[in-house]
Amino acid sequence: MAALTLYSREREIAAALARKQLGVNELDAKALSFVSAEPGIRPSALAAQLGVTSAGITTLVERLVRRGVLRRENDEADRRVSHIYLAVDLENEPWSQLAHFDNTCRRIIAQLDPQMEADLAEFLRHTTLAAREQAARADRAVSGGASAA
């Protein structure tokens, strides 16, 4: 358990340092990841992915567009609709720093014995499921407590 805790802590430190060097916050970095995975995403879909309001996503997107990190294009069929794209390449410096720690871990895992890799993947699936179940229980407890109040 200590090794997993250390990994988590070091991953967070590496991610925070990369974000600081790039001048983005954690939500900005998550937004960049979603836009990278889904080029042309609509602001409403991005807001839903990030769990923020439409006003919050407007502020986030505008800030990153002004910095030249994102670009917004109007939909050709409906000018009221916009689509968001990356204006930077997350695969190249300096933006690749956001994923550097994870890429290093991928290289290490690729060197593992196939059975060890399979065991690690199974362990991570189980811990992820346990974390999701715990989050759902906590959410139900809060939701149940809020409706009782």
- How many other C-beta atoms are found inside a 10 Å radius of the C-beta of residue 103? 12
- Model pLDDT, residue 102: 86
What predicted TM-score, i.e. pTM, was given to this entire model?
0.76
Q: What is the mean pLDDT of residues 12-27?
A: 94
- CB under 8 Å to 61, separation ≥6 — which residues? 31, 43, 46, 70, 72, 84
Residue with tokens 């550097």: 100
Residue 58 CA neighbour count, 13 Å, CB half: 4
Tell me yes or no: is domain 2-111 CATH 3.60.110.10. Answer: no
Whole-number Å distance between alpha carbons of 79 and 52: 23
Question: What pLDDT, in 10s, does the model give residues 31-83?
Answer: 999 999 999 999 999 999 999 999 999 999 999 999 999 999 998 888 889 99
Domain segments of the chain: what residues? 2-111
